[in-house]
Chain A
Amino acid sequence: MIKVSNITKKFDEYTAIDNLSFEVGNSSVYGLVGYNGAGKTTLLKIIAGVYMSDSGSVEFDGVDITEHPEVKQELFYVPDDLYFGLNSTMNSMARFYHSYYPEFSYSTFVRLSELFGLNRKKRISGFSKGMQRQAEIVLALSSMPKILLLDECFDGLDPAKRNLTKKLLLDYMAEKECSVVISSHNLHELADMCDHIALINGQKIAIDCAVDDMNGSRCKFRLAFSEDIGEELFRGIEYKNFKKDGRIITFTVSKNLEAAEERIAQLNPVLVERFPLSLEEIFLEEMEDTNYDFEKIFS
């Protein structure tokens, strides 16, 4: 389990992360979504111990990583910018990681390399960008970490390899009961594999919730009335995005759905339509007051 508590990170006077906290349980995939520069990579680097936070702490199973960096032997960080040693091959990198990860599994390494069709004796610098990404994932999974930090790990992967990677990650997580934190600027990429998603909004986490909880938890209502009615009649409903077009009224409700339905019924609408909000719509609604680059997230 990863516990991030009150992390703040400043670059000179620019605050990249401000008092941010969250938890990732075992066998859980935690998705970090946000536009470029929102702080995802910074946050992952702090968790990995690459950057030091100005305040706050990161704990693995209750052990602070700053005070006990040895716990990072169970953590593997796959950065966005990959690095392999000069003239390195998959084999030489396996030797490298074998020195630092006690559980490194050579059989897994061979099996996964073959699964991805990667030549273990070939220089990695000769690999394509996507192949390098695959190589890093192979090395990461072979290191048998209990915590996987993946930064934009699907970049450069073709759809087939992307699905394969997702499947491998999910299988690995299920088998090892590990925690995965995965970041992306694209929500669609994460929606189908994360059980928890957080939207990081340049400093803070704007939304942090379980995907299951979100599905069906918010509804959009469309009501038609026989006569013109005022908004004041909807008091008692915690709605958002209230819109009135003649006798047609739309709004969304995220809390106390049942109470809302009761109140709506009391108003005797001619027509009542209820639509559950998609993940995309929920994020849109949450971020409507921000300058968020929605297109990038949902593209």
Chain B
Amino acid sequence: MTLKKSSHNLSLAMFRQSALKVCAMPLLVFATAALYMIWQFVGIMGIGHSGNMYGGNTGFYFDEARSSDFLINVFFIAAAFISAAILFGFNWSKKQTNVIYSLGLSKKQIYLSRMLGGLLPMLAVILLITMLETFNMGWAGLTPNLHYWKMVLCTDLSWYSVYALSFVLCSVVFSATGNFIEGSVFSFIFALFPTVLNKFLYNCAYMYTLGNTNSINFTKSWSWDEPFFLNELTGFIGEYRDIISQSNDYFSKGTSSELGIFNFSSAITALVLAAVIFVIGFVAFKKHRNEIAGTWGRAKGVTEIAAAVVSLYAFSLLLNVLSYDAVRGNGGILIFVVCLVAFLISMIVFKLIFSSKRAKALKNSLKRFPIYAAGLGAVTLIFYCGMFGYSSYIPESSDVVYVDVSTAVKPYINDVISGTSYFGFKDMFFGNNILYDTYEQSVIYSDEKEIEEIIKLHKRIVDNGKIKDSADNACLYPITIRYKLSNGKYIERWYNESDEETAKLIMMLSNYKTNKDIFEKRINGTEKSAEETIVSRLKILLGKDVNVRGYGYADTNLNSLGFSIEWSVYEGEEYIGYVYADEENQLFFEDVDTHMLIGSLPDDWQNYEELNFIYMMNAKNCYLYSKDMTEGYALGMADIELFTAIKKDIVNQTAEQYFLHKPEDELGVITFGRSKTYYGNSSGYGYEFYDDEMKYEDEEETEVKPGTIIKGDSWNLNSNDNFAFVVTKDMTNTIKYLESKNCLKYLTAERKIDDIKSVKIATISELNCKNKNSSKIPVFFGAYWTSETVKAMTEELRGGDIYNYHPFEKIDNKISDKDKISKLLDNSVLFGFCPNNYRIVEIEYKDGSLATVLVSADAYNDIMS
């Protein structure tokens, strides 16, 4: 053996040895990339690959590197962990510390040379991959363009930032702990710190700050589907993923996309964070007590910080649980105290585990707890006091360009059998249609007067302050107000109101001209549906008639959905391919050989056909039901005069008339098409029934002879498959039409009180098992179920799970007094706003059929007193 003359540069020697120790990691990265490139290279050589290889967004960076970004990041994190353990794990061994620290190197030199030994080889390999790929590209006859270099920079930065941040974090923690377990656990805990802090701030804001929104950088939500820490781990990795995935969209769309600084922000943030941790580690390393090597529980400083992070986690977790399930407002202090107790317990438990002297650790925890409590209290107080004016700030109307107001409305108790609605309703008033039990409505107001009105509403909400606990708080009324200011900034506030009057004011927004315009546009339904667009385009492009069948929720703006929508394309009954819409609403047709752009939909495209007023009523039988509900009258196929009459009426209806009409103003129900009854189990598996026979959903209706009396039919004001609404006295055109047909009497038929066996009465809260704080504005929809339907659904299919589907089963407030029942029903409505103190009445008829109506709180109290 011969030895070269020593360089006498000890730092360089240690750097070289460090780099050699961990070179397997970067070599593995290089080998993986090189394998792909060789394959690519062989492809070019073997088949004379054309030059559009890169033009088609393939190649290592466009294709392989991005198709498995999650795995790549997991690999980089694992590589960083292993490298850090190899280079800084010597701090866990007394034997190794004896050797390393007795060498002629300062701690500063040891730290720097080991850090660089871990960081630089990976950087070198990533750059080498870039060089090789660029060479590969040149071999394919292509010149790297600006787009290519941007993509390379973004990808390389992203990869490296993930590795660097993970490596630096693990290295710093490893060099401050006494053994592998401490090092690993603490690294994991510190890696979660941003998420923990995020959760803490989010929950504090949610709990204590009036007007907080979910969109001020507090993003991740808790998922109970996964174990607690695993969820956070995936979140942690997910955040790393975001670093590179942000730029994916740009590259997947071709060279026209511009890559801005925003796309580098996550990677840069990660690198800055890595640099900060690097410096902190540097300072800490110089003061590191080597004697803790190989010991348990003697890394006091780092244990204290880890304990604080874990305890903050416990605090936030409990705050999160209580914020959703427990009281708010005047319960805030109690919740804070409970969370503090959780904090203390977590801290004690953690320190008992990770301390060598447990009694002392316990004593220290108790001694320091007041400091932590004061800190948490101070932060919470800031949130509680409105975050320095955040809660109370409302912009001047003159500064507002537009305001976007959104709220959530829940059609409630439309289905007495199915306490959980599986489908929504076609709300012609707000102009929304989403096939869920809750729908969000969002309207942008730019009219000056409307903006001023919304600001007034906003002020009222702010003046109301935080909600107070109330036993009747079954529902809170959510509203999000988002201002676009003339200076280009946005201000967004979110409220959960408990004040009934405010909720009414929110509903009154639909009186604004902006809402009316949207509504009218929906009614007129002039836009083409996506399906029509696809069919007409494919006819031109393919030269043949096709039909399409969609299986996505193509019912709203595609841009907001966040997932791809596809339609199967058939020529007759033969499947020939499919069409999908990308995030820019571009429609592409794909089959085995073809991938073509066939057109695009407007940015604000919605599936208007589904909402088209005429479409919904067209070719449907029209039925009239009085408030007696048990018996209907067939009016025949709906005609254009009826459409026109109804359209005029509902366009002119005010929100008061629509949502808050009085019982005496309500005549009855008009439906188009026969109602099917849907119900399903919790997994979503559902059945469809007609009362008399099974039918296919898309089967065209044949005309029911006008004047036929309909008995034994269920109907539902909130049905997805037919269109139904309450006729009120203000709907003069409709009434006039019905009078002309001499059938208004069917709407005003007398109620047969003798047919009623009893009624059950409950509030929303009672029907919800007293689950409070549901953030929806509840709107009641009446319905009627025949005895056959009730029997079929309760006995044959529901089995013992009846309480989940028929909430009235557990209600004891039952009345059989005919006089009182009569009064209750006289004061009932079939549709309307349903605040927390209103009563929902389930009518049980003697034949076993059921129906639901709504009674106001005042009326109920009068009658029952």
Instruction: List the interface of chain A (C-beta within 8 A of B).
Output: 11-12, 45, 48-52, 69-77, 79, 81-83, 91, 94-96, 98-102, 104, 106, 120, 149
Contact = CB atoms under 8 A, between A and B. Distances in A.
Contacts of A72: 102-105
A71 B104 contact: yes
A50 B6 contact: no
17 contacts: A50-B97, A50-B98, A50-B101, A50-B290, A52-B290, A69-B104, A72-B104, A77-B98, A79-B95, A79-B98, A83-B96, A94-B1, A95-B3, A98-B3, A99-B10, A100-B105, A120-B1
Contacts of B14: 99
A45 B6 contact: no
B101 A98 contact: no
Contact of B6 (A51, A83, A98, A149): A98
Contacts of A52: 289-290
Interface in B89-109: 93-99, 101-107, 109
A52 B287 CA distance: 9
Contacts of A76: 102
B8 interface: yes
A83 B1 contact: no
A83 B10 CA distance: 20
Among A11, A98, A100, A102: residue with most chain B CB under 10 A: A100
B248 interface: no
B17 interface: yes
A123 to B, nearest CB: 15
A153 to B, nearest CB: 13
B843 to A, nearest CB: 77
A96 B109 CA distance: 17
Contacts of B93: 83
B291 interface: yes
Contacts, number: 83
A51 B104 contact: no
Nearest to A104: B6
B345 interface: no
Contacts of B291: 11, 51
A70 B291 CA distance: 21
A50 B17 contact: no
B13 interface: yes
Contact of B104 (A11, A73, A82, A95): A73
A217 to B, nearest CB: 36
Contact of B13 (A75, A82, A99, A120): A99
A144 B735 CA distance: 112
A102 B102 contact: no
B2 interface: yes
Contacts of B102: 48-50, 72, 75-77, 149
Contacts of B13: 99-100
Contacts of B94: 81
B98 A106 contact: no
Q: Enumerate the 8 nearest inter-chain pairs by beta-carbon distance, A residue then B residue, closest first.
A: A83-B95, A73-B104, A99-B13, A72-B104, A77-B102, A48-B102, A79-B98, A69-B106
Interface string B204-233: 000000000000000000000000000000
Among A73, A75, A96, A99: residue with most chain B CB under 10 A: A99
A80 to B, nearest CB: 9
Contact of B17 (A45, A83, A99, A120): A99
Contacts of A81: 94-95, 98
A181 to B, nearest CB: 13
Interface in B76-96: 93-96
Contacts of A74: 104
B451 to A, nearest CB: 66
Nearest to B96: A83
A99 B6 contact: yes
Given A11-B291, A79-B98, A100 B103 contact: yes
Nearest to A9: B291
Contacts of A96: 17
A155 B103 CA distance: 23
A141 to B, nearest CB: 16
A83 to B, nearest CB: 3
Contacts of A102: 6, 8
Interface string B270-293: 000000000000000000011100
Contacts of A71: 104
Contacts of B7: 99
Nearest to A74: B104
A190 B16 CA distance: 40
Contacts of A101: 6, 104
A106 B3 contact: yes
B1 A106 contact: yes
B629 to A, nearest CB: 81
B95 A94 contact: no
Given A69-B105, A81-B98, 12 more contacts: A11-B291, A70-B104, A73-B103, A75-B104, A83-B95, A98-B3, A100-B103, A102-B6, A102-B8, A104-B3, A106-B1, A120-B1
A294 B107 CA distance: 39
A82 B289 contact: no
A52 B17 CA distance: 25
A91 B1 contact: yes
Nearest to B360: A12
Nearest to B13: A99
Interface in B1-42: 1-3, 6-8, 10, 13-14, 16-17
A76 B102 CA distance: 7
A82 B98 CA distance: 9
A75 B106 CA distance: 14
A75 B8 CA distance: 15
